[in-house]
Amino acid sequence: DTAVSQTPKYLVTQMGNDKSIKCEQNLGHDTMYWYKQDSKKFLKIMFSYNNKELIINETVPNRFSPKSPDKAHLNLHINSLELGDSAVYFCASSQNRAGEQYFGPGTRLTVT
Amino acid sequence: RKEVEQDPGPFNVPEGATVAFNCTYSNSASQSFFWYRQDCRKEPKLLMSVYSSGNEDGRFTAQLNRASQYISLLIRDSKLSDSATYLCVDFRGGGYNKLIFGAGTRLAVHP
């Protein structure tokens, strides 16, 4: 009965590769997010979707492309991975664009 | 200046102690704030909302001072299980629904 789930939990890959991270929520929320937490533990929003519509797109390289096939899913595809992409990526969801957000367990991405 | 600033700590306190964290925010128009808690290598979880009138939940009390643009979190009777990083959050609504996180304050409660 996991609320927000992400796969994979760990991802180790080489520079230049393309990878995807998947997120699913079973809370019935209408808004989903991607956050990046870097090595200094700073958590920063990347994207937000409300009812499959992109509403937040922070200054993120266009190598990062989110896709929301439906309200319960938000995937993140990353092209041409770079060393600086190494971080923990968290998916989150909320109802009605509220401040109470529920986070997934995170995907720890390591680019070598 | 960072949008949300926190003392990174760590705060090392014995069980039973009272500990307080402050955070300051730069956007004077901000209306809503939260405290989230993040355990080591885990996801952030909502701890409590912060209201102008103050908010108390058991051993936890959150306060907002708009004039000075700071938010506080008081933890009474600290437990070992309170050891975590506490994240101060500025919620930007208005259709964008962005959470602006501080870098967090680390708390270590020891026996």
Q: Tens-of-pLDDT digits for all 112 residues of chain A? A: 679 999 999 999 999 999 999 999 999 999 999 999 998 888 999 999 988 888 888 878 999 999 999 999 999 999 999 999 999 999 999 987 677 899 999 999 999 9
Strand B105-110 with B11-14, pairing = parallel
Instruction: Find chain A residues with C-beta within 8 A of B104's C-beta.
Output: 41
Question: Of B7-11, B58-62, B82-86, B104-108, which range is least confident?
Answer: B7-11
A-B C-beta contacts closer than 8 Å: 53
- Using only C-alpha atoms, chain B has a radius of gyration, in whole angstroms, of 13
Tell me which residues of chain B, numbers 26 to 55, contact chain A at a CB-CB cutoff of 8 Å. 32, 34, 42-46, 49
Q: What percent of chain B has pLDDT above 90?
A: 80
pLDDT the model gives residue B98: 84
By CA distance, what is B105's nearest residue in A? A41
Write the DSSP string, B34-81: EEEEE-TTS-EEEEEEE-TT-EEETTEEEEEETTTTEEEEEE-S--GG
B71-104: buried (b, 16+ CB within 10 Å) or exposed (e) per residue?
A: bbbebeebeeebbbbbbbbbbbeeeebbbbbbbb
Query: pLDDT band for position B106 (50/70/90)?
Result: very high
pLDDT(B93) > 80: no
pLDDT the model gives residue A56: 82
Tell me the Ramachandran region of residue B89: left when phi exceeds 0, alpha when psi lies from -120 to 50, beta otherwise. beta
Query: Are B43 and A98 an interchain contact pair (Cβ–Cβ within 8 Å)?
Result: no
Nearest to A23, CA basis, from A65, A87, A73: A73
pLDDT the model gives residue A1: 65
pLDDT the model gives residue B65: 92
Instruction: Find chain A residues with C-beta within 8 A of B91's C-beta.
Output: 99
Query: Are A45 and B103 an interchain contact pair (Cβ–Cβ within 8 Å)?
Result: no
Instruction: Find chain B residues with C-beta within 8 A of A106's C-beta.
Output: 42-43
Nearest to B44, CA basis, from A23, A99, A49: A99
Instruction: Find chain A residues with C-beta within 8 A of B89's C-beta.
Output: 99
pLDDT(B95) > 90: no
Query: Which one has a higher pLDDT value, A92 or B94?
Result: A92
Residues of A with CB under 8 A from a CB of B: 31, 40-45, 48, 50, 55-56, 90, 94, 97-106
For chain A, what's the residue count? 112
Q: What percent of chain B has pLDDT above 70?
A: 98
